[in-house]
Amino acid sequence: MYDFKKSVVYQIYPKSFYDTDGDGVGNLSGVTAKLDYLKNLGIDYIWLTPFFVSPQRDNGYDIADYYNIDPSFGTMEELNELIKEANKRDIRLMFDMVLNHTSTEHEWFKKSLAGDKYYQDFYIWKDGKADGTPPTNWESKFGGNAWEYVPSIGKWYLHLFDVTQADLNWENPNVRKELQKIIRFWIDKGVKAFRFDVINLISKSCYEDDFEGDGRKFYTDGVRVHEYLKELNKATFGTDAEIITVGEMSSTNLENCVKYAGADQDELTMVFSFHHLKVDFVGNQKWVLVPFDFKKLKNILFDWQTEMAKNNAWNALFWCNHDQPRVVSRFGNTSEYWEKSAKMLATVIHCMRGTPYIYQGEEIGMTNADFENINQYRDVESLNYFEILKNQGLSEQSAYQILKVHSRDNSRTPMQWNESENAGFTTGTPWISVNPNYKHISAENQINDENSIFNHYKKLINLRKQYDVIAYGNIIPLEVNHDSVFAYMRKYKNEQMIIINQFYKTETTWKYPIDLSGFKCILSNYNDCNIQNNNILRPYESMVLYKKD
């Protein structure tokens, strides 16, 4: 049995990973072709973002058929080959299941539109207000109203995301049974892990106007969500102790997450929360330009670390995914300290309590794309907000500056494999532009360089497997109020570990609050790691100190 506490997950966005047929779109065969690269890195699971049949309005998170592979990604035979070849390398697959909504191209929704009463109850249809306006004033997470009127039905359907992503009615037991069948189908195929997209939105508490916000308080962590997850667990993945699960929790709170991911709660193995990735927002608004709040970042991460530990619940640890900008561009330094800051940020996450997730390209320090033309953008959210920002009075130049920092397309540019054309991603025309810095930043340049970012990630993965204190230890925050140092201690039985990270490019002083006698430096992003010089930390300096009594 795989120990998820000693494991590391690697997220692949197949569309941008590796293209084997020259059509400019990555595919499942491309993942198979790169399994040896991932085995070399040392990861245990591959999380694949959705590759099911989809019109691709939201890059596959609008599923039209949960049982079949979208032809742009390959065939069922190619998926079976991927599962088989991954198993040979002791790598397991994590499938991304979107169960809050379907595409409006799904047969269930088509039957719903056609007037089939059985399938109309699969979705959330409501009458509008007497004045002809939508049932509530809720806002879509992609901008605009969250309801769409269908004249032939005379009602509105809910879509918390794109208008083509209709929310499923989880109050209907027939919906829940159909979704359980889907999970069991993939378990029978040999899938040993699942990631559940925005799973804490499946229970809508009520349908009322929100006069204080955008409606999320009425559908986030709803009144029946824990009941639904326990039922899903019992009927599907809970029947196999080897299967691990992670839930994406949108705008959630600690109180609910200790239930979602509690060891004795029979819901999920672990959770993604995003509060630490809103420290460069204003409130919940990300389409602004403000510096990130370092102390807020520390406080959020430490609160979640300590409270989840106190309640025997498990975190998923991450900086990056397909919905987030590149972390080295966001919290690091992409100029003179690119390598140092990328390694430091990796160390922060990988030595914490929880299961680390690496997003493709993160392990080689890939950066934001800095696209300067709206025609280069592909993401529906970015395209919508470009217009929204201009309608709010911003100039195009100002709107572009915001997109360069916050657009989800920053993480979706093709994986940079080598210095050849299109970074070795495709022999055709890539579906989205390659980052122009690929000749400087590529996997081929780093694999055999002992001091590369890639090999720093590899060392961190090995540390988690080697030292029980990382996998099982408690966590003690150190110097929470320091202006630039992020440090913490891990303890387990007779092992102690201190992790020290300097977040800025200017030297800083920090006095270790504990006696360092007997500690040795087992990892650093500088060639020399002098723990005696304990008052000065160099730009973006990071070190891991270890002692065993």
Residue 1 confidence (pLDDT): 57
DSSP string, 438-463: GGTS-HHHHTT-TTSHHHHHHHHHHH
Residue 38 confidence (pLDDT): 98
Residue 59 confidence (pLDDT): 85
Active site residue 188: no
Q: What is the pLDDT of residues 160-185, one digit of tens each?
A: 999 999 999 999 999 999 999 999 99
Q: What CATH topology corresponds to 107-167?
A: Oligo-1,6-glucosidase; domain 2 (3.90.400)
Q: What is the pLDDT of residues 94-120, one digit of tens each?
A: 999 999 999 999 999 999 999 999 999
Q: What is the pLDDT of residues 386-444, one digit of tens each?
A: 889 899 998 888 888 888 888 999 999 999 999 999 999 999 999 999 999 999 999 99
| CA distance linking residue 226 with residue 258, whole number of Å | 11
Catalytic annotation, pick one of 19, 62, 167, 197: 197
| CA distance linking residue 345 with residue 354, whole number of Å | 16
Q: What is the pLDDT of residues 10-67, one digit of tens each?
A: 999 999 999 999 999 999 999 999 999 999 999 999 999 999 999 999 889 999 999 9
Residue 423 confidence (pLDDT): 98
Q: What is the mean pLDDT of residues 123-147?
A: 95
Residue 373 confidence (pLDDT): 87
Nearest alpha carbon to residue 168 among 244, 209, 216, 228: 228
Q: What is the pLDDT of residues 482-496, one digit of tens each?
A: 999 999 999 999 999
Cα–Cα distances in angstroms (integers) from residue 393 to residues 123, 286, 380, 399, in the given order: 37, 17, 21, 10
β-strand partners of 493 = none
This prediction has a pTM of 0.95
Residue 534 confidence (pLDDT): 61
Q: What is the mean pLDDT of residues 128-151?
A: 95
- Give, as one character, the DSSP assignment of residue 44: S
DSSP E strand boundaries for 392-507: 474-478, 485-492, 495-502
CATH of domain 9-99+174-369+415-460: 3.20.20.80
Cα–Cα distances in angstroms (integers) from residue 408 to residues 385, 416, 458, in the given order: 12, 17, 26
β-strand partners of 166 = 102
Q: Does residue 165 sit in helix, strand or coil? A: strand
Domain extent listing, the chain: 9-99+174-369+415-460, 107-167, 372-406, 473-548
- The pair phi, psi for residue 525, each rounded to 5°, is -95, 5
Residues 6+ apart with CB under 8 A from 489: 475, 476, 478, 496, 497, 498, 499, 514
Q: Check if the beta carbon of residue 504 is closer than 8 Å to that of residue 538.
A: no
Active site residue 231: no
Residues 6+ apart with CB under 8 A from 217: 210
Compute, in degrees rounded to 10, the torsion defined by CA atoms 374, 380, 386, 389. 180
Residue 385 confidence (pLDDT): 87
> 473-548 belongs to which CATH class?
mainly beta
Catalytic annotation, pick one of 248, 280, 363, 381: 248
pLDDT range class, residue 533, cuts 50, 70, 90: low
Residue 532 confidence (pLDDT): 65
Residues 6+ apart with CB under 8 A from 423: 414, 415, 416, 417, 434, 435, 438, 442
Nearest alpha carbon to residue 281 among 439, 405, 446, 436: 405
